Structure formats: C-alpha cells, structure tokens
A and B are shown apart, each in its own frame.
Chain A
Amino acid sequence: MDRNMKILVVDDFSTMRRIIKNLLKDLGFTNIEEADDGNTALPKLKQGNFDFLVTDWNMPGMTGIDLLRAVRRDEKLKNLPVLMVTAEAKREQIIRAAKEGVNGYIVKPFNGATLKTKIDKIFERVG
C-alpha cells in the first residue's frame, strides 16, 4: 500500500475530521485533505487525483451516501475506494451502502485499530 496516496476525509464535524486525520497520520498517511460535506467533496475529487475517500454519512448539504452514488456514477471516479465512517448503524443503511458500492463500513464510535484493519482489507482487495 502506498503511504503517499492522496486521501480525502469528509465529515461535517471538524472534530471528527481531525481525529480521522490524526489516526491516518499515525498509520503513516500524510497526504490528506478535508471537506465538510458531499457538495464540497465532489469538486475536490473531480479535480484532485485522490486515491482514497473516507466519508461520513449524515451531513447537511450532500450526504455521504449521495456522495458515494455520485462517485460510482462518475466515469473517472467510479473505481475510487470508499470507506464510510458513520454513526448510522441501521441494518438497512449498511445494506444500502453495500449495494451502492462502498468498500468498507465503520460504525462510530470506533478506534484506530479498526480503521487500520479496514484500510488494509480494502487495499488488499483493490490491489
């Protein structure tokens, strides 16, 4: 796995963005950018050669699930690995995210070890 890969962290709470960013830094990833909802994330993704997207679900403006749908519909972005880190824990929601093509799903509250395991698994599969 390339530790220099470019990662976009999307969450409407700055606290959570900081936490995820710090955890990613701890895992050796340093090339990280932030966005506070789908509407600000999508233009960044379209311009920026990102290798990995970590997104929350429940955000004002464009939600994480809509962002996931937009990414999968976009010719250039459709293969981007997407990890959801969210407090949304309903069975139906997880199934929906899976159907929309999410690569990993973490329920808050979570910890660094879970984040590492999921990222390892995603990139093991993506290759």
Chain B
Amino acid sequence: MTEEKAARLVDAKALVKAIEQDDIQGEEALIEKLTANQTASVFNEVGRITREVHDTLMNFACDERLSLLAEEEMPDARDRLRYVITLSEQAANRTLNVIDEATPMAEKITDRSRRLKDELAKITQAERENPRLLSVTKTMDRYLDSTIKTGEQVKKQLTEIMMAQEFQDLSGQLLMRVIELLEQIEDKLINLLKITAPVRQKGSKTEPQQPNLDRGIGPQGYSNEKKKDVMESQDDVDDLLDSLGF
C-alpha cells in the first residue's frame, strides 16, 4: 500500500467517524481534503494540454511554409484551376464552331444527293427503252444511295462529337467546387496565421516542397467511388420519377 493510499484511508475512516458523531465541520473539512487530490489532477491535466496547444501553435506560427501556402500557393492553385476551365471552354467552343460549319455541309450533301436521285428516277422512267442509259443511271443511283448514307452518318458522328463536349460543363463544375473548397481553407488558414502573427519570426522563405513521388501522390482522377444516394443513370432517374407518379 502506498503512503498516499494509507493517508486517504485514514481520512476516510475519520470521515465515517465525523458523520457518526454529527461533526459537520469535520465532515466538510475531510470531504474537501479527500477530493483535493482529484481536483489537482484535473488542473494538472488541463495545464499539460494547454502547454501542448501552446507549443503546437508556436511551431505552427513559426512555420514559414504555412504562410507561403496560404498567401501564394493556394491562390496560385486556384488561378491554375480557373485557367483549366478557360482552356477547356476554349477547346470545346473551337470544336463546336467546326461542328456548326460542318453539319450544314453534311446536310447539304444528303439533301442534294436525294434531289439528284429523284431527278435520276424521273429520267430512268422516261428513258426506260434506252438500255445503255439505264445501266448508267443504275450506277449513279447506287452511288447517290451511298452518298446519302455517308452524309447521314457524318452528321450523326458530328452530333456525337458535339455531345462529347459536355465534358466541359461537367469538369468545369467539379473544378469550381474544388476552387470553392480552396477558398474556404485559405480563409481559415489566413485567420489562423493572423492570430498567431505576433510570435512569427521574420525568417527566410522556405522553398516550395516537391511532392514525394516515392511515397506516391495519390490517384489523379476524380474519385469514382459510387455513392448510394446518387442516381447512376437516366433510367434510375426515370424510375424514381415514375415512382413519384410522373
């Protein structure tokens, strides 16, 4: 038994005695004495945590890397992301411009071939006694058929290319979210740096750290993790709307 434990036992026994003898003053004094140790340990613990928080904050405040991060690198990262949006928008618009020019061309090829095919049919009808001409019109008709088909297919492919430009909207929206997030973190970081500013020492700026490639820098694409409450396809959306009486 430790000395401290023995002392507490003595106090506890004295407390029982004090209660039995209706010694209220003695009782209060002994209770205070018995709990004093516990209170002291709480104070000790709070003190220790406070010191830890203080030390951490001091280290934090003295880390030049953080102010560099908040004041230069994060705004720079935001600008870069905005630039990615601009670039992808420009690329998408260039593609759409070409499609806007090329689609009427494809339509023209189809329309003109159709009209020519009709004209040819009339001639074939009128000249059905002329076998040499008929063999020519037959070849031309086959050619026009394939041209009509090609024109239609080219138009379809152009529409497909147009739909692919949808990536610009979707990727743009994702990047905007990341930019917003960066802004929020930046604000908080700057606030924290302001609070700790008085203790910061003027030191030489540290060089921006390069990511440690050996350790890996994580996947570069957007997480494909499936989320439960997100509709995976238009069919899912339709099913949901159906269930709502749509």
A residues near B (Cβ < 8 Å) are 11, 13-16, 18-19, 22-23, 26, 58, 87, 89-92, 94-95, 98, 105-112, 114
Contacts and interface: CB of A to CB of B under 8 A. Distances in A.
Given A15-B92, A91-B231, A92-B229, A109 B170 contact: yes
Given A16-B169, A94-B237, A112 B244 contact: no
B162 A19 contact: yes
B169 A87 contact: yes
Contacts of A105: 237, 241
B26 interface: no
Given A15-B169, A90-B229, A107-B231, 14 more contacts: A14-B89, A14-B93, A15-B166, A18-B93, A19-B96, A91-B240, A94-B240, A95-B240, A106-B234, A108-B169, A109-B163, A109-B167, A109-B170, A111-B163
A91 B244 contact: no
A110 B237 CA distance: 12
Interface string B141-183: 0000000000000000001001101111110110000000000
A55 to B, nearest CB: 13
Contact of A87 (B92, B103, B159, B173): B173
5 contacts: A11-B169, A16-B168, A18-B96, A91-B229, A109-B167
A42 B241 CA distance: 26
* Interface of B, helix, strand, loop or mixed by DSSP: helix
B222 interface: no
A86 B190 CA distance: 35
B244 A107 contact: no
Interface in B75-118: 89, 92-93, 96, 99-100, 103
Contact of B159 (A15, A94, A112): A112
A98 B96 CA distance: 33
Contact of A15 (B89, B234, B240, B244): B89
Contacts, number: 80
Contacts of A94: 231, 237, 240-241
Nearest to A89: B231
B156 to A, nearest CB: 10
B240 A89 contact: no
Contacts of A92: 229
Interface in B192-246: 229-234, 237, 240-241, 244, 246
A90 B231 contact: yes
A109 B230 contact: no
Contacts of A114: 234
Which of B169, B172, B233 has the most C-beta atoms of chain A within 10 angstroms of its own C-beta? B169
A114 B237 CA distance: 12
Contacts of B173: 13, 58, 87
A108 B173 CA distance: 12
A31 B44 CA distance: 77
Nearest to A97: B241
Contacts of A112: 159, 163
A19 B231 contact: no
A18 B231 CA distance: 25
Nearest to A17: B169
